[in-house]
Structure 1
Amino acid sequence: MRVNHYLPQPRFSRYMCYPESFGHYKEETNHREKRTAEQVPYYNLHVVMSGTGYVVQGNQKVRLHAGTGFLYGEGMPQEYYSDEGEPWDIRWVHFFGEGLPGLFDWKMGGKVWVFAWVGVTRLPGLLDQLLVNGESFIQEKETQISALLYEILMELLQNGEDLNGTPAIGLRQTMLKTADWIKAECTNQLTLEHMAAFSGYSSYYFSRQFHQIMGKTPSEFLLESRLLKAKELLSSTNWSVKHIAERLGFSQCSYFIRRFRLAEGHTPEQFRVLRGVNQSVGYKKEI
């Protein structure tokens, strides 16, 4: 089975991303592609739903299976094929758009990105929506289809896991769950050891992997969570800045004010003024 949808060029030429074509291949034992750089002016995304296939990278062959996929950049030579004995079921998209190099260059490094998407639970549904839009495409849908493709790509960029290195499958979900816990518990006196214990890893390993996945250290994330909570309290209570600092676990009010000013560009009291907060009406009193 081969489903191919080809779209006309969009009326608006500056979409972040837009599909040139997309489709669904299943039980195609002879699905094999080998293209030169000149033949592929588009990004090429393939997502494996079941079965087996291979991506060839130089002298290496990478085996792909359910829950994996690959992405080629524009102008990259490509070679991939389905396993004849266990042909893959894939969804694929060829796309282009402004700003794509900035989105993907850091992830791809000039090479095909081979990834696992086990934790990207929304991906199959999003790809199904894309296929449905292709069945009855009309020009008025181009904004919707561009937004849908952008959502697919961002889900993969944020949650897809590199098959050629760390983090291991499942580690990302653990770190995300730990980040949610840190945010919920940020008013308590949390140490690196507390956060690592929740994740189930050693402090060193947790700190390194959390930084890699979240883009900031555990202490930086904890501080950010406390400052976000501070903005909520500054907006919804008449508590003093000192009292808020104490409730958020800051040992010194001066340190809280300094960190808040570094993050926001103004002091907590100035934040209240800039947000038009009226401290005399409707706020939770200091306790």
Structure 2
Amino acid sequence: MMIHTEPGIIKRDGVYFCSSDSFTQDNLFYILWGAVYSLDSPYRVSRSYMDAFMLQYIVSGELNFVLRGKTFTAKANEAVLLNCREKNLYWADRQAVVKWFHFNGKNTLPLLNYIYERNGGTGLFKKNYTKKIEPYIDSILNEIHKKDSNVFSISHNIYSILCELSAPPAVLESPAEKTIREALSFIQSNYSKSISVNDIAAHVSLSTYYFTRLFSKYMHLSPHTYLLSTRLEAAKKILIYTFEDIETISLRTGFQSSSHFIRAFKKANNITPNNFRKVFYQKSID
């Protein structure tokens, strides 16, 4: 049963209907109908069941939803994906412009369930998703304006939308994670120079004490150990792939002297740099 109160529709482009033959219905995603509505209160749709699915894209304003047991508001540049076989309700409290279409296809339901599972279950998608899917929405609405719409193009665009929406939501980076990322980038770019933990802490605008604690918490090793490890890994590559002398390698990888480099290398690898090189040089001969 569907109760659709026409009041609240200020202007509309459509509804445009798109008929589909048996091949399309059996093998493709396809559109039933779609439109662009300009809305205001008291626009309201309450639905208990429809054998279809629906995508709504909020161009401006906002639309309120009760969907999958949750109440939420979709704002400008957000989208809502509905399984119309489930009870749903949506309405406008103020002016809004909405692009929408109903669609179907044999593989839609499992895809929709997967999308809901990956994205919190409400069907609401923020701007990071909609900026990718809006061109597909526009292409679909343009296509159904035509007398002979291209069912393969429509199917492709619906599938592209569902693929984009199936991506997991972006994980926001915390301030601490951003600090660690910036520190790691600084180390990778500057390990060959005579930098210390103090320099890294200064780069991320933290005290050495606080930075060391934060780095150790996230990386499970101290910044000094990470810096040393980065230098030693770089030195291994130079030892293997070049014939540069130990003094040059120590300078290229940020060590204060060749003796310091040799001691650190042997402590970490239980072998001197020269013997490490001989092992790999012998393997290359063999």
- Superposition deviation, residue 87 in structure 1: 1.8
Counterpart-to-counterpart distance in 2, 1:42 and 1:204: 52
The worse-fitting range, judged by mean Cα deviation, of 141-150 and 55-64 is 55-64
Cα RMSD for the two superposed structures = 4.0
User: Are 2:165 and 1:156 aligned?
Assistant: yes
User: Are 2:42 and 1:30 aligned?
Assistant: yes
User: Are 2:124 and 1:114 aligned?
Assistant: yes
The answer to whether the Cα contact below 8 Å between 1:25 and 1:89 also exists between their aligned partners in 2 is: yes
Alignment of 1:73-152 (within 5 A): 73-83=83-93, 86-109=94-117, 112-138=122-148, 141-152=150-161
Counterpart-to-counterpart distance in 2, 1:59 and 1:16: 30
Counterpart-to-counterpart distance in 1, 2:78 and 2:158: 18
Counterpart-to-counterpart distance in 2, 1:93 and 1:122: 17
TM-score calculated relative to the size of structure 2: 0.51
Counterpart-to-counterpart distance in 2, 1:205 and 1:4: 57
Counterpart-to-counterpart distance in 1, 2:129 and 2:88: 26
Q: Secondary structure at the match of 1:26?
A: strand
Alignment of 1:161-176 (within 5 A): 161=169, 167-168=171-172
Unmatched runs of 5 consecutive residues or more in structure 1: 186-201, 208-241, 244-287
Counterpart-to-counterpart distance in 2, 1:21 and 1:145: 12
Counterpart-to-counterpart distance in 2, 1:205 and 1:78: 45
The answer to whether the Cα contact below 8 Å between 2:68 and 2:121 also exists between their aligned partners in 1 is: no
The answer to whether the Cα contact below 8 Å between 2:29 and 2:159 also exists between their aligned partners in 1 is: yes
Kindly provide the amino acid, as one letter, of the partner of residue 153 in structure 2. Answer: Q
Aligned length: 177
The answer to whether the Cα contact below 8 Å between 1:47 and 1:92 also exists between their aligned partners in 2 is: yes
Kindly provide the amino acid, as one letter, of the partner of residue 37 in structure 2. Answer: Y
Structure showing the higher helix proportion among its residues: 2
- Superposition deviation, residue 30 in structure 1: 3.3
TM-score calculated relative to the size of structure 1: 0.51
Counterpart-to-counterpart distance in 1, 2:67 and 2:40: 22
Structure label with greater radius of gyration: 2
Alignment of 1:203-214 (within 5 A): none
Counterpart-to-counterpart distance in 2, 1:206 and 1:72: 39
Q: Secondary structure at the match of 2:86?
A: coil
Q: Secondary structure at the match of 1:12?
A: helix
Counterpart-to-counterpart distance in 2, 1:45 and 1:81: 15
Unmatched runs of 5 consecutive residues or more in structure 2: 1-10, 189-213, 220-239, 242-286
Q: Secondary structure at the match of 1:118?
A: helix
Counterpart-to-counterpart distance in 1, 2:216 and 2:110: 31
- Superposition deviation, residue 97 in structure 1: 0.7
User: Partner of 2:75 in structure 1?
Assistant: 65
